[in-house]
Structure 1
Amino acid sequence: MHSLTRIKVLQRRCTVFHSQCESILLRYQDEDRGLQAEEEAILEQIAGLKLLLDTLRAENRQLSREEIYTLLRKQSIVRRQIKDLELQIIQIQEKRSELEKKREEFQKKSKYWLRKEGNYQRWIIRQ
């Protein structure tokens, strides 16, 4: 009987650890969704800035030197903003990659604790 109570304690411990892993996985999933939404918003901003850049062209117009410099400055600013946003996307993708590695690690742990819990359950049934 002592063995049975010990097995039940071990089974409960496995259940607790498994549920902790699952809650961490859900938190990682929510965080990934947030990062994905942020990435999509930045991509939309980049698309808008590229459209703006297309409108900042001196197509068949006579421009003074000042107007040319002003236009080039505006184009430069928009290009810089696009590059900054692309850098943000790279950073978000790196965060998502790290998050994916952590998620895989906790999935392995979760499967481990679930398997252990199943083993203890079978031992309890045999007794």
Structure 2
Amino acid sequence: MAHQKLTFPMPARADLAFDAFHYHHWRAQWDPLVSRTHVQDGAPCPSVGAISENTGAGALRALSMRTQFVSYDRPMLAAAKMVGRSFPFTQWAASMRHQADGADRSQLIYTYTFEVGPAPLRWVPVH
């Protein structure tokens, strides 16, 4: 199982960075890892219990994942877990914590845990 915490400096306040990531119609416009992302009930952003569908972009276009939000506390924290299956993942969960870092800057702390399957694929390094 892979688990890691990454910190990224954001050139915007925490509330703006949070919205850029979680208002799905904005994210698909700037995030090169997704071609399509939306909340199943049509809401512009998730909420606790909401399920979102995300389709990869470019070389990741074949990957698609459904996630359910377990936390959504704007503008500080959003966390989700995978629902159903999404090859090559057997488990996936992540959180995004946004913290102020000055008047017009913030930090994004991204923590993830995942496992791949089937078992023969688990030798693949994930660092």
Q: Identify the TM-score tier after normalising by the shorter chain.
A: under 0.3
Higher RCO (C-alpha 8 Å, min separation 6): 1
Structure 2-normalised TM-score?
A: 0.20
Structure 1-normalised TM-score?
A: 0.20
Tell which structure's C-alpha radius of gyration is larger: 1
* Structure in which a larger fraction of residues adopt strand: 2
* Structure in which a larger fraction of residues adopt helix: 1
